[in-house]
Amino acid sequence: FRLRQGGGADKGLSRRLTDGGPYNARWFGATADGTDDQPAIQRALDSAPAGGSVFIPPGTYVIGDTIEIPSGTTLRGGGFGTLLKRKAETTLTGYEVEEIKFGTHQIHPLLTTRQGAGGTEEVVIRDLHIQENTSSTSGPRTEAGIWVNDAINTKLLDCKVEDVRDDLAQSAIDDFYRAFCVCITNSTRTTIQGGIYNTAGYEVIGVRGGSRRTRIQGIVSTNVGN
C-alpha cells in the first residue's frame, strides 16, 4: 500500500491506497488481543469496494456478533492460523429461518452472507479457521459457523469449522436440524471445496429451503453421530 496526505475535511490525515489489493482488517482496528474484533472486521468489509477483498492476518480474533459479508466481496485469512472464535457468554444476532423448523426459528451464525432485500452474489470465504465456543450460554438457539442464505455463486474454500453447538431443550430437538458447520438456505450455486468440518453429533453441512446446485468437493469431515 501507499500513503497519501488527506485534503479538505480530512486535511492532516493519511489515507491508505491499496492499488487494488486487499484491505487488511487490522487497518480498521482488529487487534487479535482478546477484545471483540467483530466491529473492526465488519468495518473493513463495509469499506471494501465492490469486487474487493478483506484479509485477516493470522491470529485469534474474538467475535462477539455475526459478521455479514456483502455482495462481490472476498473474506480471506492466512490459513488455519487465522482463527475467528465466538466470544464466550454472548448473544449473536439471530436471523429467522423458516426452513430449519416447522415454523419460525432463529439461527445464530458467526459468518453469513449479507441479509436483506435482494440477497447477495459472488461472495468468497476462504482460508479461515472458525470456532464456536462451548462457553456461550445465551439460548435457546441454533449455531452455524457459516450461513449462506439467499445467495448466488458463493464459494467456501479451504476453511476449518468446528465446535458448533446448540443449547436447546431435549423436547425441541426433533422439530428441526440442530447446529451446523455450514447451513445453506434459499441459495443457488454454492461451492464448498477443501477444508475440515468438525462437529460432534450435529449437522456438518445442511442444505435446506429450495437451495439448488450445491457442490461439495474434497472436504474432510470428522463428524461423530451424524
| pLDDT greater at residue 90 or residue 157 | 157
- Give the model confidence (pLDDT) of 74-106 as tens digits: 999 999 999 999 988 666 788 888 777 656 777
- Give the model confidence (pLDDT) of 105-134 as tens digits: 778 899 999 998 778 999 999 999 999 875
* pLDDT higher than threshold 80 for residue 154: yes
Average pLDDT over residues 184-195: 95
pLDDT band of 66, cuts 50, 70, 90: very high
What share of the chain has pLDDT > 90, as a percent? 54
Q: In this predicted structure, what is the pLDDT of residue 124? A: 98
pLDDT band of 180, cuts 50, 70, 90: confident
Round the average pLDDT of the chain to a whole number and report it. 82
Most confident of 64-78, 80-94, 202-216: 64-78
Q: In this predicted structure, what is the pLDDT of residue 1? A: 42
- Write the secondary structure of the chain as one string of H (helix), E (strand) and C (coil): CEEEECCHHHCCCEEEECCCCCEEHHHHCCCCCCCECHHHHHHHHHHCCCCCEEEECCEEEEECCCEEECCCCEEEECCCCEEEEECCCCCCCCEEEEEEECEEEEEEEEEEECCCCCCEECCEEECCEEECCCCCCCCCCEEEEEEEECEEEEEEECCEEECCCECCCHHHHHHECCCEEEEEECCEEEEEECCEEECECCEEEEEECCCEEEEEECCEECCECC
Considering the entire predicted model, what is its pTM? 0.86
pLDDT band of 19, cuts 50, 70, 90: low
